[in-house]
Chains A and B, each alone.
Chain A
């Protein structure tokens, strides 16, 4: 750390040759860095590993479901597989995914700052994540956990014989990493903006991350205390949620979903921010309805706090509460639809080009729309009673989480890859991968809508033979999807060494991050930039061409 600071603080012309990647070498220079860009890379590495772990569980689930009989794994093992798939993907991949990698890398650059407000807290949050991840991995190797990722009581506190305590503790710990990241972004957006960078000149990615951070700050502590109470009940056998001891298990569900529904928006809002950046750049067009997109992000964050009860329609919640939660859940569709309409309106009369990030944008818009509209099915109480705990629900949230968030994440990685690494990725392979991901995704999850509608329940390793055709299609799609995820891992790593060098602004894009060299120097800006124009002036003549 000392050496890296000494190097970076040396004044004079030599500084120009240094970027954040070559400013210092060695494992210590990474593990003790406080540079937001290096911390973003640290996150990128570990969440990619966690994505692979979650992917292995998904693979085994799909293989088991290839045949109606439970022939690959037994029921108990299957319970552990879907539980650990959920926990790893939700807590260790999706929640940190875009904020901790692209957000960490881009927020200071986009607001014209040399770093986040609290660089050491940023590093601390990575270490907290790692501690949580170690507990999670320990729990996996110690035999796994079978409660479902929702840890419902009283099964989790008294009946389950699996590694509940280390797993819940892992989720508890990793929550603090999320809280600190959100806090850092909020304070940075308020206090670190460059001169002239008013709130309505901020890139929409910053707005989306800001809204996300609000949720991280306000919802995650509630999950933390809920998990503490769960641990107390399981560890010390004191009654809190267990009905045998007078407790109310539905209270656990309320408290859990008070976090975990807003957490859905922690996962998807950053993706929407990424899409807003890319759709305007590759349409060479001003974003349509900038302020509407700003406020729809905040609107989703606020309404997202008021809809958790739609997870409890069949849990013994009062029917009047259910009606209210149903109505409020419909309201989320309004800001979501505003975004979709604004993105499509941005395409209109734009000069649309078909580079890889744009393919992900178009994929996102289509898949998110399907995921969102099927959400309305589930918000309707009567229909939800039929669809609860079926594959319809699985398909719905995978359209949002995978079709939405991961498409945006991959698109964003491609879009900012030249900035992050200073190298261009191979466009041909990237386009092929984007198409494979889109096709594989739909083949995996569209049949699950049909299965769920026909009544196939989730969380069983066996099913009646009449569901086999659709399950085989789904498993086939999953293998295509796996290829689609492998390809970027290979060619992106290849490009770090062999890709052509990228200029500062290979897309001719607006935004402060494109005005610094690729890769940026350690402190980002030699001089504090002064912002004088709106964020997406793509209608200026010099911006009309890519």
Chain B
């Protein structure tokens, strides 16, 4: 959470001895938070692994109903957003206000494109009765396993999307702060930490994409 009292000058909150200690502490805090996020998604990956072993054929069948070209496109979008995020962090470190704003805006834009494509995919699943629940239709002996696949598909990509939305909200706040010239080579911790979070959310997708779209037998 950005601190009101942090102006351009490298001053630090009351509990710290120095700005350097404050920076190190904030970094460790963010990494520790990301560790908890790994465990959070870890639960989903565990469930996926267990059910993939229980229903290998159904999972392969169901995977064919996901369009890997769209998935690959979204992967490319997300990796590009990681690059623009990294450039925004770099711009903040050298204190280039205009570039911070541009790169944050690009990151937000790419993140939104990803979510837009995801929404389109969800809509397609809805149209084709692939949303688990009473309206689920799957003409196959493996229907039960396929429904589990789609339960996990929505839970995993849904949780990922929630994290993307939180990330976009964070970046939007930083965008406003950057436009007001709040970041400098001496003080840019919030941009750096938001970058860590953004890359983490990307990495989750890097695992989701092959697990859901690409492991499909033939």
Complex CA distance for A187 and B134, rounded to whole angstroms: 47
B15 touches A183 (CB 8 A): no
A120 touches B51 (CB 8 A): no
- Shortest C-beta distance, A491 to chain B (Å), equals 34
Complex CA distance for A192 and B155, rounded to whole angstroms: 39
Binary contact track B125-164/A, C-beta < 8 Å → 1, others 0: 0000000111000000000110110011011000100000
A117 touches B15 (CB 8 A): yes
A186 touches B154 (CB 8 A): no
Q: Which residues of B contact A120 (CB under 8 A)?
A: 1
Give the contact stretch, choosing among A84-92, A233-241, A316-324, A476-484.
A233-241
B154 touches A238 (CB 8 A): yes
Most chain A beta-carbon contacts within 10 A, residue among B21, B41, B42, B145: B42
Most chain A beta-carbon contacts within 10 A, residue among B14, B15, B21, B145: B15
Q: Which residues of A contact B41 (CB under 8 A)?
A: 225
Known A222-B40, A255-B43: A228·B32 in contact at CB below 8 Å: no
Q: Which residues of A contact B33 (CB under 8 A)?
A: 183
Complex CA distance for A190 and B134, rounded to whole angstroms: 51
Complex CA distance for A245 and B144, rounded to whole angstroms: 6
Which one of A119, A217, A220 contacts B15 once the chains associate, using CB atoms below 8 Å?
A: A119
Binary contact track A1-32/B, C-beta < 8 Å → 1, others 0: 00000000100000000000000000000000
Binary contact track B31-48/A, C-beta < 8 Å → 1, others 0: 011011101111110110
Q: Which residues of A contact B7 (CB under 8 A)?
A: none
A187 touches B32 (CB 8 A): yes
Binary contact track B47-65/A, C-beta < 8 Å → 1, others 0: 1001100110000000000
A240 touches B44 (CB 8 A): no
- Shortest C-beta distance, B153 to chain A (Å), equals 10
Give chain A's interface residue range (CB within 8 Å of chain B). 35 or more
B32 touches A246 (CB 8 A): no
- Shortest C-beta distance, B178 to chain A (Å), equals 22
Complex CA distance for A177 and B22, rounded to whole angstroms: 23
A251 touches B47 (CB 8 A): yes
Contact of A402 with B by CB under 8 A: no
- Shortest C-beta distance, A146 to chain B (Å), equals 25
A222 touches B42 (CB 8 A): yes
Known A191-B24, A225-B43: A245·B32 in contact at CB below 8 Å: no
Which one of A191, A245, A255, A528 contacts B147 once the chains associate, using CB atoms below 8 Å?
A: A245
B51 touches A248 (CB 8 A): yes
Interface of A is mostly: helix
Give chain B's interface residue range (CB within 8 Å of chain A). 35 or more
B24 touches A236 (CB 8 A): no
Contact of A487 with B by CB under 8 A: no
Contact of B210 with A by CB under 8 A: no
Q: Which residue of B lies closest to A113 (CB)?
A: B15
Which one of A179, A192, A226 contacts B43 once the chains associate, using CB atoms below 8 Å?
A: A226
Contact of A232 with B by CB under 8 A: yes
B1 touches A239 (CB 8 A): no
Binary contact track A223-261/B, C-beta < 8 Å → 1, others 0: 011101100100011111000011110010001000000
- Shortest C-beta distance, A157 to chain B (Å), equals 12
Q: Lowest 10 CB-CB distances: which A-B pairs, in order?
A: A225-B43, A246-B144, A238-B132, A221-B40, A115-B15, A221-B39, A191-B25, A238-B151, A221-B36, A114-B15
Known: A114-B15, A237-B133. 20 other contacts (CB 8 A): A115-B15, A179-B36, A184-B29, A187-B29, A190-B28, A191-B21, A217-B39, A222-B39, A222-B42, A224-B40, A225-B44, A228-B155, A229-B43, A236-B132, A240-B152, A245-B144, A246-B55, A246-B144, A246-B147, A248-B51
Residue contacts A-B, CB under 8 angstroms, 17 given: A119-B15, A120-B1, A187-B28, A217-B39, A225-B41, A225-B44, A225-B159, A229-B43, A229-B44, A236-B133, A237-B134, A238-B147, A246-B147, A248-B50, A248-B51, A255-B43, A255-B46
